[in-house]
Amino acid sequence: MTQRLTPGTVALLVTAPLLWAGNAVVGRLVHDLVPPITLNFLRWALALALLLPLTHRVLRPDSPLWPHWRRYALLGLLGVGLYNALQYLALQTSTPINVTLVGSSMPVWMLAVGALFFGVAVTRRQLAGAALSMIGVLTVLSRGEWSQLLALRLVAGDLFMLLATISWSFYSWLLVRTSEPASVRGDWAAFLTGQMVFGLAWSGVFASAEWATGHTH
């Protein structure tokens, strides 16, 4: 049976990219006010504070979360500790548009990481979709004039965003390979809280290094 695209579905599809793009814009706006690693730490600390009233039970000593702490520590590192930290680092020297465009290469990296590290075969349709995505990115970068690509100059921030995109690709594939109990995985708030607890620990370590070098103000 064919399902119709409802206004609610359209709103959700539009909201997610707007939030991701807005995150890049805000990160650029405050790059002179808050150091990037500290900004990532504060961002996730606020998110955890908002979720804890709903999910504090998942952190009890007898929670089924703790036998799988290694998995959650890795998810927290890739999704919380690294992705946004690298994005905010990228925004120190790159523009929100460039950062978003580099992030648009995600389909390519998802296919590459899946094939190289998770043994997932890549189909022709998936390759065509990734190629179409990259053509769209290149079209925007060149403004419709392919000669503009020869004059394109990359900055350090673009490399940081590329590393962030690769990190998120590993994170996404690890989400698929699950072994944790359904009682945790089935509760999205508890599942996210488990990641944030470990991710904040990673972020705290990284922010401490930033503070030690005197890059905070």
Distance CA 123, CA 120 (A): 10
- For residue 180, the 8-state DSSP code is S
Q: What is the mean pLDDT of residues 71-98?
A: 94
Q: For position 29, what pLDDT does the model report?
A: 93
Q: What is the pLDDT of residues 50-80, one digit of tens each?
A: 999 999 999 999 999 999 999 999 999 999 9
The arithmetic mean of pLDDT across residues 172-182, rounded, is 85
Confidence band, pLDDT 50/70/90 cuts, at residue 215: low
Nearest CA to 87 out of 16, 22, 136 is that of 22
**Crossing angle between the packed helical segments 83-90 and 96-103, to the nearest 10 degrees:** 140
Task: Tell me: pLDDT of 141 over 80.
Answer: no
Angstrom distance (rounded) from CA 64 to CA 182: 10
| Mean local confidence (pLDDT), 107-117 | 94
Q: Give the pLDDT band of residue 13 (cuts 50, 70, 90).
A: confident
Split at pLDDT 50, 70, 90, the class of 120 is very high
Q: What is the largest CA-CA distance in the chain?
A: 61
pLDDT above 90 covers a percentage of the chain that reads 56
Name the one residue in this structure whose structure tokens are 């189909």: 123
Residue percentage of the chain with pLDDT more than 70: 94
* pLDDT grade for 2, boundaries at 50, 70 and 90: low
Q: Inform me whether the pLDDT recorded for 143 exceeds 80.
A: no
pTM: 0.88
pLDDT at 109 over 90: yes
Alpha helices in 56-155 (DSSP H): 69-75, 83-90, 96-103, 106-117, 124-142
